[in-house]
Structure 1
Amino acid sequence: MQLSMVVPWGRCFKEYKEIFSLSQADLQVNILGCGDGPASFNAEATAAGAKVISVDPIYCFSANQIESRVNEVSHNIAQQLKENASNYIWSTFQNVEAVVSARLAAMKDFLKDYESGKKEGRYVEASLPLLTFKENQFTLALCSHFLFLYSEHITEEQHIAGVLELCRVIKEVRIYPLVTLDGRPSPYLAPVIEAVTSAGYSAETVAVPYSFQRNATEMLVVKSV
């Protein structure tokens, strides 16, 4: 991976709770955050007593390198948000400035925790569809803003292989959102559901209380039967 290809953009613990409808019981189990990037979910959840391991290929870089890249791209991301404001629902955030402020705060919290978290094994360099974990090592996986969102960049086969790999190491998988970057339903949702149900898992779409990207109102929940 080249750092110039990375667009780091992290979300906080509060957003994760709403995005994945996380209950207090959910936060008591072993959690895998897949594609967490510079989100502060791991840092905040760990501070609250949760057991979380995050995986992302970006974790091959140092905190200074990631911070430098954040500073490089944040202005461009803010500009894109302004240009595409109609693609978002402005209730969770009042305006673009509020979004950028929240994201930068989350990434700051991540960066404070990152180096110590790597030493503790909480941030692991890895990417789908290959995870170096044992079968059923985790109870819950949270995959935020990766699968389905980037349907133009990740093939149907890669989606299926990635979700099946998550199912191998986790008893329950939650994926959000189920739309592409432009807010259209991902064409790979139906094939993924067919593949996991054929493999013996249950799958359903579930409404979530989080609202920001237009049409992104549901998550996919896949469970061992």
Structure 2
Amino acid sequence: MEEKQVYEQIGVAMTSRSYVEYEKMFMLQTDELIGKRVLDVSGGASSFTAEARQLGIEAEAVDPLYEKSPDAIAEYGRLEIERSTAKLSKLTDVYDWTFYGSVEQHRAGRIQALQRFVEDFSSAEGSARYHKAALPSLPFGAESFELVMCSHFLFLYEEQFDYAFHTGAVRELLRVCKPGGEVRIYPLMNFRTEEYSRLHDLILEFELAGFTVQKREASLPFLPNSQQYLSIKKEPSA
């Protein structure tokens, strides 16, 4: 049997994704988010927060990366983009290029998102919306955000983080989510492009805790088995 081709990743990668990618990963409706407080957890050097702010969304991001200087993040980001591009170029048959078009266009989008991020991170307002911290502990008060998102961290790094870490991280995402709000996590798979092995257990655990948990359809065709995100809704206050 031919060995499955997988994206090899050591350690947690830093990524640079755009607002439109978030729209497709999490099925965002921009007009419904205007004026609302939204958190991007483990956002890396993505331009989501910068672009969302320009659209009138009260977006913030949190990542341990933000302890670095803008120049250091820019340099690290460029290196990460080159590494990931080299890996992707060897796996072109594995992915669906409908959205990105080609490896080179994928690279160009990452560079553009990184540049937008660095510009915003360097701005006078940057320190107020980019927070240095890592799951499972976030530096926000309870019930602070209408929408909390986490992409390409939970589930994806299944081999590095155990089930206890995942449940603790999800509890923390829910803690900072307002009643009536929602936590969304994407994708639901690990680097072997297989669904997170404890996903059923995690869904059941949070359903029993009183949350509404659903797998919902995403619309970013690229990674195999990445057609869904996890929606965890927090009931409104009585």
| TM interval, short-chain normalised | over 0.9
In 2, Cα distance between equivalents of 1:6 and 1:193 = 24
TM-superposed CA distance for 1:25, in Å, is 0.6
TM-superposed CA distance for 1:198, in Å, is 2.1
Q: Does 1:8 align with 2:18?
A: no
Report how many aligned residue pairs link the two structures: 222
CA change 1:152–1:6 in 2 (3 A) is closer
CA change 1:91–1:119 in 2 (3 A) is closer
- Which of 152, 164, 174 is the aligned partner of 1:167? 174
TM-superposed CA distance for 1:61, in Å, is 0.5
Contact 1:10 / 1:38 at 8 angstroms: preserved in 2? yes
- Residue 6 of structure 2 corresponds to none
Give 1 or 2: higher helix fraction.
1
TM-superposed CA distance for 1:118, in Å, is 5.9
TM-superposed CA distance for 1:5, in Å, is 5.9
CA change 1:28–1:199 in 2 (3 A) is same
CA change 1:21–1:27 in 2 (3 A) is farther
The one-letter code of the counterpart of 1:74 is: I
Q: Does 1:192 align with 2:202?
A: yes
The one-letter code of the counterpart of 1:189 is: L
Contact 1:6 / 1:58 at 8 angstroms: preserved in 2? no
- Residue 154 of structure 2 corresponds to 147
In 2, Cα distance between equivalents of 1:129 and 1:99 = 31
TM-superposed CA distance for 1:87, in Å, is 2.5
Structure 2 portions without partners, runs of 5+: 1-9
Question: Helix, strand or coil for the counterpart of 2:122?
Answer: helix
- Residue 33 of structure 1 corresponds to 40
Q: Deviations over 1:152-199 (max 9, x none)?
A: 111111011000111111031000000111211111211221221122
- Residue 3 of structure 2 corresponds to none
Q: Does 1:20 align with 2:30?
A: no
In 1, Cα distance between equivalents of 2:125 and 2:11 = 22
Q: TM-score, normalised by structure 2?
A: 0.88
Structure 1 portions without partners, runs of 5+: none
Q: Does 1:181 align with 2:191?
A: yes
Contact 2:184 / 2:231 at 8 angstroms: preserved in 1? yes
CA change 1:37–1:118 in 2 (3 A) is farther
In 2, Cα distance between equivalents of 1:215 and 1:31 = 26
In 2, Cα distance between equivalents of 1:159 and 1:222 = 14
- Residue 230 of structure 2 corresponds to 220
The one-letter code of the counterpart of 2:21 is: E
In 1, Cα distance between equivalents of 2:39 and 2:80 = 27
In 1, Cα distance between equivalents of 2:84 and 2:34 = 31
TM-superposed CA distance for 1:120, in Å, is 4.5
Q: Deviations over 1:42-74 (max 9, x none)?
A: 001111111011000100101111111123232
